[in-house]
Amino acid sequence: MHLHKRFSNDQVKVIFGNHLKGLISVKEALQLLEISRSQFFALQKEYVEDPERFSISYVRHAPKRIGKTAEVKIQKELIENHKLVQNPKIPLLPIIIQPSMTT
């Protein structure tokens, strides 16, 4: 699970603060946060640069929905596929060839 779902900003700030003061080791901080060393040091760098503005809040950059043009294209394709399925001239099941009984 993601760090921002397990801890508040203040909790993470306390852990980084305690580590930087020498009260807890890197190993202890990693165990508490349950993150990799590289992620820990990347976040610690952000914390050291500006402790007051440091945040682990997650911001979604991608939209939750597809674009309107993509949605229209998908709807058109679905309509075309529906027409093909409903067309009685197009067989949906493969033709099964019976083995010849003359051999």
Q: pLDDT tens digits for 8-63?
A: 899 999 999 999 999 999 999 999 999 999 999 999 999 999 999 999 887 667 76
Please check whether residue 22 lies inside any domain of the structure: yes
The rounded distance, in Å, linking the Cα atoms of 21 and 25 is 10
Please check whether residue 102 lies inside any domain of the structure: no
Tokens found for residue 94: 């493969």
Domain count within the chain: 1
**For the whole model, what pTM was predicted?**
0.56
pLDDT score, position 92: 67
Please check whether residue 12 lies inside any domain of the structure: yes
Please check whether residue 20 lies inside any domain of the structure: yes
Domain that holds residue 44: 3-49
pLDDT score, position 69: 92
Please check whether residue 17 lies inside any domain of the structure: yes
Segment 87-100 shows an average pLDDT of: 70
